[in-house]
Amino acid sequence: MLVLDLVGLRASLPAAEITGVALLLAVAVGINRSRPATALGLATAALVGQGMAELYGLVAPFAMSYGIPAAVLAFLAGRRTERVTPVILVFASACAVTFVLYATRWVMGGDLRATLSGLVDWASAVLILLLVVVTPWLFGRFWRQHVMLRTAGWEVAERMERSREVEAEHARLRERARIATEMHDSLGHDLTLIGVRAAAMEVAGDATDEQRESAAELRASAHQATLRLREIIGVLRAEAAPEPAEPAGEDISTVVDRAVAAGMDARLVREGPDLDPASPTGRAAHRVVQEALTNAARHAPGARVTVHVTRESGVTTVRVSDTGPADPAAGPSEGSGSGLAGLRALIEGMGGTFHAGTAGDDAGFAVTARVDDTAEGTDPAVAGQRGADTASETERTRSRVRGRAQRRLVTALTIPAGTASVVTALGFLLLSYVGNNAVLPPSEYAKLHVGDDQAEVQRVLPRFEHPQHSLAGQPPVPDGATCRYYTVRSENGLPPVYRLCFADGELVSKDVLQQE
């Protein structure tokens, strides 16, 4: 369209204006790659300058093509930059400049009807800016995000491929840790009980020397087997953190009975309802009792052990205490300490509390665990199932980003559109109010006569007047007279207009004019 104007296909050619704006757009296109927001600002300035120049009559209407470069540069700005603030500033500045220029024209006109019409025109200008600047920019932003997501998808696929081997290695380490835990909890406990049985046979009064010697050898073999088991567990746990094992629903009383049958002086005290062995809390309590009995047999042989299980107000407390070794000179056997560390990790991972230390009143040792009955287990399978039902961190992040983008889109569209719509609606309501109060009924007009006193005539005149500039070809105004204009009926199309002219305090003429 610029080329058509420049080659003279229009009657009145504003060549200077078109050339100036063309140079401005050329600069905008030149800096678009390095400074897309600045380029958009220049194109928007050309668009606003064109409209305001025509509004003030500074130039004849010329090519309406500046909206196209502004829309293209707005799309490229959204495509090439993530910055939002510069584009918002461009749009807000354009709206503010047009409002100031429209308001200046209203003040200069001094007519209420023209002011209201100007408000409606300004709201229309805001909607045009929204359509030409904001909408293409939003399309550009979404196009850029689409390309980024597509590229990121291939990158994620490559990373997933590379991570398969790492995940397989992690699975192998987790399996090793699981085996180590099962061996520590089950085999270690059984070997300790074998040692306890051998020690009981060794000190039995009716045993022969040969039996005592065999029992001593059995106890020594069990001890050596326990040491070798610790070494194996240490190797298996060297590369991975232990995972808690899950007993197959065995009740605590079974563990205590097995220890008593092996020769331990142990007793079980229960307070409150029995635990469900298959529940997470029941499995955790089973493991605490099993590990504590193993430690008591290993470090305090011959001690009296009490297992106290209390359930009250939805909380289960397990306390396993001993009275110390029966032969203090024997001293405790050496241990790795990994069992208590695993118990602490298990209980605290379930949100409970764990304590292991001296029993207080005597020289013994006590292990105390306190767990809520509603706590969930920390077994890998359980955790994996729970994780499958919960959105991953990536999914949550993507949801937040998507929600934020949607909120920004809604805000970017609704605020200017809503503002312009409200202003337009108010403008039309006020125009309707003014138009309805600028009607002089024909019955009242018929009562007016030339020569009537101006003060008497003004008593029946409407509150507002019809604008004179909308009338063309009206008869000459009497010398020295001031005329007022009122519509015959509410504006619907172009109703006739009454013209009343006053001079020297009297009505000097009355005419009916037709609008064109």
Give the pLDDT mean for 242-268. 75
Structure tokens that stand for 445 in this block:
């007009």
Residues in the chain: 516
382 Cβ contact list (under 8 Å, min separation 6):
280, 376
| pLDDT-based confidence at residue 59 (cuts at 50, 70, 90) | low
- Please count the other Cβ atoms lying within 10 Å of the Cβ belonging to residue 129: 25
What would the pLDDT profile of 217-243 be if each residue is shown by its tens digit? 776 777 777 667 666 666 665 554 444
d(CA 506, CA 135): 58
Q: How many helices (H) and strands (E) does the chain have?
A: 16, 8
pLDDT attached to residue 270:
92
Looking at the predicted structure, is the pLDDT value of residue 512 above 60?
A: yes
Return d(Cα 198, Cα 213) in angstroms, integer: 10
User: What is the pLDDT at residue 310?
Assistant: 93
What pLDDT, on a 0 to 100 scale, did the predictor assign at position 122? 80
Q: Answer with the residue of higher pLDDT: 43 or 310.
A: 310
Burial of 380 (0-12, 13-18, 19+ CB in 10 A): middle
> How is 203-230 classified by DSSP, letter by letter?
T-TT--HHHHHHHHHHHHHHHHHHHHHH
Sheet holding 304-312, edge to edge: 265-271, 304-312, 315-322, 365-372, 353-358
Q: Is the pLDDT of residue 318 over 90?
A: yes
Least confident residue range of 287-301, 303-317, 500-514: 287-301
Cross-strand bridge partners of residue 365: 358
Cα end-to-end span (Å), the chain: 32
Q: How far apart are CA 413 and CA 407, in angstroms?
A: 10
Question: What is the predicted pLDDT for the residue at 506?
Answer: 92
Integer Cα distance of 471 and 483 in angstroms: 13
Q: How far is CA 219 from CA 134, 165, 189, 453, in A?
A: 85, 45, 14, 135
Least confident among 171-175, 303-307, 377-381: 377-381
What's the token pair of residue 502? 């006053």
Which residues touch 406 (CB under 8 Å, ≥6 apart)? none
Say if residue 501's pLDDT is above 90.
yes
Give me the domains of the chain, ranges plus CATH numbers. 2-160+402-425 (no CATH), 255-388 (3.30.565.10), 442-513 (3.30.1450)
- 138-159 confidence digits (pLDDT tens): 888 878 877 777 776 666 667 7
Average pLDDT over residues 307-326: 88
Q: How many CB atoms lie within 10 A of CB 444?
A: 15
User: Does position 429 have pLDDT exceeding 60, yes or no?
Assistant: yes
Determine contact, residues 505/490, Cβ cutoff 8 Å. no
11 falls in which pLDDT band (50, 70, 90)? very low
User: Given a cut of 80, is residue 349 above it in pLDDT?
Assistant: yes
The token pair that represents 91 in the structure block: 């749009």
Which of residues 492 and 198 earns the better pLDDT score?
198
Which amino acid, residue 162?
R
b or e along 41-58 (b: 16 or more beta carbons within 10 Å of the residue's beta carbon)?
Answer: bbbbbbbbbbbbbeeeee
Residue 473 predicted with pLDDT over 90? no
Integer Cα distance of 245 and 247 in angstroms:
6
Spatial contact of 245 and 283, defined as CB atoms under 8 Å apart = no
What is residue 12's predicted lDDT score, i.e. its pLDDT? 47
Out of 78-82, 106-110, 457-461, 511-515, least confident range: 106-110
pLDDT > 90? residue 295 = no
Q: Give mean pLDDT, residues 21-48.
A: 79
| Cα–Cα distance for residue pair 269/315, rounded to 1 Å | 16
| Two structure tokens written together for 436 | 């309805």
Output 450 or 44, whichever has higher pLDDT.
450
φ, ψ of residue 439 in degrees (nearest 5): -100, 125
Question: Which residues, including other chains, have CB under 8 Å from residue 246's CB and lie 6 or more apart?
Answer: 283, 377, 379
* Non-local CB neighbours of 21 within 8 Å, separated by 6+ positions: 46, 49, 50, 66
Q: What is the DSSP string of 72-92?
A: HHHHHHHHH----HHHHHHHH
Q: What is the mean pLDDT of residues 37-60?
A: 74
Distance CA 421, CA 373 (A): 59
The SS3 of residue 511 is strand
pLDDT for the residue numbered 245: 46
Q: Kindly report the pTM of this predicted structure.
A: 0.43
pLDDT recorded at residue 493: 60
Per the model's pLDDT, the better-predicted residue between 362 and 287 turns out to be 287
148 touches 500 (CB < 8 A): no
- What's the number of CA atoms in the CB half-sphere (13 Å) around residue 385? 6
pLDDT in tens, 157-209: 677 777 776 777 777 777 777 676 666 666 666 767 777 777 777 667 677 77
pLDDT in the model for residue 142: 79
pLDDT higher than threshold 90 for residue 502: yes
Please report where in the chains the tokens 């089950």 appear, as a residue.
186
